[in-house]
């Protein structure tokens, strides 16, 4: 394998310099973290599944005209994406009360919200990604008001589409996190959806049983993390029936052959 320059290593991904200028390779790791890195672990095969699930969702979002960074999946753990300048804001969309919203406002988890709600957090691990308002974002120059208007509009559109995408596979999209980045075209910034969309950054509940099919299984020590991620991939038709273990078997087989 040719040596590539590593640009950044995050909690769940490594970024390498891509083959052409303006491209990046995203490598999906099996590492899982929660509560701002206080809990660490490994979910075997998570990277392979998230790579596939994220590819699927990005491709579908592309079909409805959402501009995004995804170019193509390269192999089981890597995808080629456009290099962007990340907007340091995590955009959270919520349809149902859960997680920090439920805690902060004393709401019972599972309460449907009157409408989709957007929240913004400043991306800073040392500060624990604090919740911020639009005025903070503009005041500290993290993004302009115009950019935030476009980002928010896109985020709600993505939510509408993803609610349908998941409801078709009997999953309730409770909440999720998005990130956006800028590319510069003739000195003008253009916003693209970036990062990944996978059960790591979404709350996904089975419509009938409310069973959690996302990273809350890891965060809350519920067990069955791999099976939950596999179930999401299986329902999307990304894992052939009965081939649950093949994803990893295939990866190991390829590794042995040195590919």
If binding is defined by CB under 6 A, does position 175 make contact with ligand C5P? yes
Smallest distance, Å, CB 214 to ligand C5P?
7
Nearer to ligand C5P, 18 or 159 (CB): 159
If binding is defined by CB under 6 A, does position 231 make contact with ligand C5P? no
Smallest distance, Å, CB 61 to ligand C5P?
17
If binding is defined by CB under 6 A, does position 217 make contact with ligand C5P? no
Total residues interacting with ligand C5P, rule: CB under 6 A: 14
Q: Nearest CA to 30 among 15, 50, 56, 16?
A: 50
If binding is defined by CB under 6 A, does position 176 make contact with ligand C5P? yes
Interface residue with ligand C5P among 46, 52, 56, 203 (CB under 6 A) is 203
If binding is defined by CB under 6 A, does position 159 make contact with ligand C5P? no
If binding is defined by CB under 6 A, does position 92 make contact with ligand C5P? yes
Nearer to ligand C5P, 101 or 191 (CB): 101
Per residue, the 3-state secondary structure of the chain, as one string, reads CCCCCEEEECCCEEEEECCCCCEEEEEECCEEEECCCCEEEECCCHHHHHHHHHHHHHHHHHHCCCCECEEEECCCCEEEEECCEECCEEEEEEEECCHHHHHHHCCCCCCEEEEEEEEEEECCHHHCCCEECHHHHHHCCCCCHHHHHHHHHHHHHHHHHHHHHHHCCCEEEEEEEEEEEEEEECCEEEEEEECCCCCCCEEEEECCCCCECCCHHHHCCCCCHHHHHHHHHHHCCCCCCCCCCHHHHHHHHHHHCCC
Residue nearest to ligand C5P (CB): 99
Interface residue with ligand C5P among 18, 137, 201, 236 (CB under 6 A) is 201
Nearer to ligand C5P, 104 or 253 (CB): 104
Backbone phi and psi for residue 191, each to the nearest 5 degrees, phi listed first = -90, 140
Q: Own/partner pairs for 131-140, CB < 8 Å, 24+ apart?
A: 131/100, 132/89, 137/89
Nearer to ligand C5P, 175 or 231 (CB): 175
If binding is defined by CB under 6 A, does position 129 make contact with ligand C5P? yes
Nearer to ligand C5P, 18 or 92 (CB): 92
If binding is defined by CB under 6 A, does position 99 make contact with ligand C5P? yes
If binding is defined by CB under 6 A, does position 196 make contact with ligand C5P? no
Instruction: In whole angstroms, give the CA distance from residue 140 to residue 129.
Output: 15
Smallest distance, Å, CB 172 to ligand C5P?
12
Stretch near ligand C5P under the rule CB under 6 A, chosen from 12-20, 140-148, 160-168, 199-207: 199-207
Summarize as ranges the residues that interact with ligand C5P (CB under 6 A): 90, 92, 98-101, 129, 175-177, 201-203, 215
């Amino acid at each position: 394998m040719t040596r590539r320059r590593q640009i950044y290593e995050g909690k769940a991904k490594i970024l390498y310099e891509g083959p052409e200028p303006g491209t990046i390779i995203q490598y999906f790791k099996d590492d899982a973290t929660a509560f701002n890195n206080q809990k660490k672990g490994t979910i075997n095969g998570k990277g392979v599944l998230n790579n596939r699930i994220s590819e699927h969702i990005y491709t579908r979002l592309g079909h409805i005209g959402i501009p995004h960074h995804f170019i193509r999946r390269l192999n089981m753990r890597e995808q080629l994406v456009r290099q962007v300048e990340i907007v340091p804001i995590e955009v959270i969309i919520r349809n149902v009360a859960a997680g920090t919203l439920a805690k902060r406002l004393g709401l019972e988890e599972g309460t449907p919200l009157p409408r989709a709600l957007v929240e913004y957090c400043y991306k800073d691990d040392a500060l624990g990604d604090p919740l911020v308002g639009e005025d903070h974002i503009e005041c500290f120059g993290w993004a302009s008001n115009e950019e935030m208007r476009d980002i928010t509009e896109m985020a709600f559109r993505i939510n509408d589409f993803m609610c349908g995408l998941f409801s078709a596979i009997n999953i309730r999209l409770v909440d999720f996190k998005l990130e956006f980045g800028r590319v510069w075209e003739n000195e003008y910034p253009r916003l693209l959806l970036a990062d990944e969309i996978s059960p790591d950054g979404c709350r996904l509940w089975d419509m009938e049983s409310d069973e959690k099919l996302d990273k809350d299984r890891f965060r809350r020590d519920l067990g069955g993390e791999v099976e939950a991620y596999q179930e999401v991939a299986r329902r999307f038709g990304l894992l052939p029936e009965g081939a649950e273990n093949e994803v990893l078997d295939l990866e190991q087989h390829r590794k042995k052959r040195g590919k």
